[in-house]
Amino acid sequence: MNKFKVIGLMSGTSLDGTDLAACEFTQDHQWHFHICHARTVPYPEKWRVALSSVHDGSALQLAQLHKEYGHYLGRLVKDFMAETGFGAELVASHGHTIFHQPQSGLTFQLGEGSAIAAECGIAVACDFRSADVAMGGQGAPLVPAGDRLLFPGYDYCLNLGGFANISYESEGRRIAHDISPCNMALNAFSAFSGFPYDENGEIARSGAIIDELSDAFNDLEFYRLLPPKSLGREWFHQHFLPLADIYRNRPADVLRTLCEHIATQVSLAILPGKQGKLLITGGGAHNTFLVRRIEHLCNQQLIVPDAILVDFKEALIFAFLGVLRLTGQVNVLCSVTGSAKDHTAGALYLSC
């Protein structure tokens, strides 16, 4: 039985830090995984500022940061392996999304793979989205390929990250798409209450739904589109955030409205009449108020796993996408992204 030892790297839109997951994968009649070690390294202020402002810089600044961030990630991996004693043969890096505009044929994840490999001395798989966008796809979401093979016992896999997204099987095809903003929006308005996030949804619980804002959210064109579809930071800042920003003096009410909006859109993403097990992961799974609203509206058996899987499932799956890339197996599904065909994506840099 082949065993693959991989470190998955994930940096989300919330800029909390870099997730590192040291994972083992084996395969008999199906794939099995074990997260051996996992940690989140918070971003130093230098990197929080750099990553949040790079969109407004020059092409030269972007190229320099791409290289420097790759070296930074490589050093994180090297230190992580030294601390844990985990002997990885591959690093699979999501990178940090800077631009995602598939309608313009553009997606860019920061973190040069050659720089990562130079620092940690092992092979690196990265840039998993570009090939799909080049073939007319959304370049997202990519996690559903892992959902299908690693979590076959669940009818739905729901991730509550910066954006909420879902994947499930329908008539032999994997279907997946982004649903709505999630933590990106919740954290933005928690900040107006003086907190980095709304712990357990307590602030939202104290608020009241703003009907006009709820209607404005639900009337956005994105919600009328059929899958495949995906969201990006640009859409959030251009179309979503301005609707709520006029209520910034009522953060509790905005948070309550956001929770109801997310739960409503999740319920609309569930297949009519298909009840089953719904696995919830991502940072939003810690928001008990939001999870209860989803449970109330969805009428599914909700399963929130242990904290390690909640927080590191995306890093786990990108580690797995790296295994599939290394072994030449399909790791991007056209039924999910809308590209021309299923394919094996990712740039591969051999150990330095």
Instruction: State whether 51 and 110 are in the same domain.
Output: yes
* Residue located via tokens 């859109």: 265
Domain contains 193: yes
Domain contains 334: yes
Instruction: State whether 82 and 162 are in the same domain.
Output: no
Mean pLDDT of the residues in the chain: 95
Domain range for 180 is 156-299
Instruction: State whether 324 and 265 are in the same domain.
Output: no
Instruction: State whether 103 and 173 are in the same domain.
Output: no
Residue 309: the pLDDT is 98
Instruction: State whether 337 and 273 are in the same domain.
Output: no
For residues 9 and 18, the answer to whether their CB atoms sit within 8 Å is: yes
Instruction: State whether 171 and 277 are in the same domain.
Output: yes
Instruction: State whether 27 and 61 are in the same domain.
Output: yes
- Number of structural domains, the chain? 2
Domain contains 147: no
**pTM of the complete model:** 0.92
How far is residue 334's CA from residue 325's CA, in Å, rounded to a whole number?
16
| Lookup: tokens for 153 | 């016992």
Instruction: State whether 288 and 218 are in the same domain.
Output: yes
Domain contains 164: yes
Domain contains 145: no
How far is residue 17's CA from residue 12's CA, in Å, rounded to a whole number?
8
Instruction: State whether 259 and 162 are in the same domain.
Output: yes
Domain contains 143: no
Helices (H), 233-306: 233-235, 241-245, 251-269, 288-298
* Residue located via tokens 């108020």: 289
Domain contains 46: yes
Instruction: State whether 52 and 77 are in the same domain.
Output: yes
Domain contains 304: no
Q: Which amino acid is at 226?
A: L
pLDDT tens, 175-223?
A: 999 999 999 999 999 988 889 999 999 999 999 999 999 999 999 999 9
- Of all residues in the chain, the percent with pLDDT exceeding 70 is 99
Going by pLDDT thresholds of 50, 70 and 90, the confidence category of residue 2 is confident
pLDDT tens, 8-26?
A: 999 977 788 999 999 999 9
How many angstroms separate the Cα of 144 from the Cα of each of 154, 311, 322? 12, 17, 14
- Nearest Cα neighbor of 254 from 242, 266, 265 is 242
Going by pLDDT thresholds of 50, 70 and 90, the confidence category of residue 29 is confident
Helices (H), 176-229: 183-190, 202-205, 211-218
For residues 197 and 183, the answer to whether their CB atoms sit within 8 Å is: yes
pLDDT tens, 99-132?
A: 888 989 999 999 999 999 999 999 999 999 999 9
For residues 262 and 286, the answer to whether their CB atoms sit within 8 Å is: no
Instruction: State whether 76 and 12 are in the same domain.
Output: yes
How far is residue 187's CA from residue 259's CA, in Å, rounded to a whole number?
12
Q: What CATH number is given to the structural domain containing 104?
A: 3.30.420.40
How far is residue 249's CA from residue 245's CA, in Å, rounded to a whole number?
9
Instruction: State whether 117 and 92 are in the same domain.
Output: yes
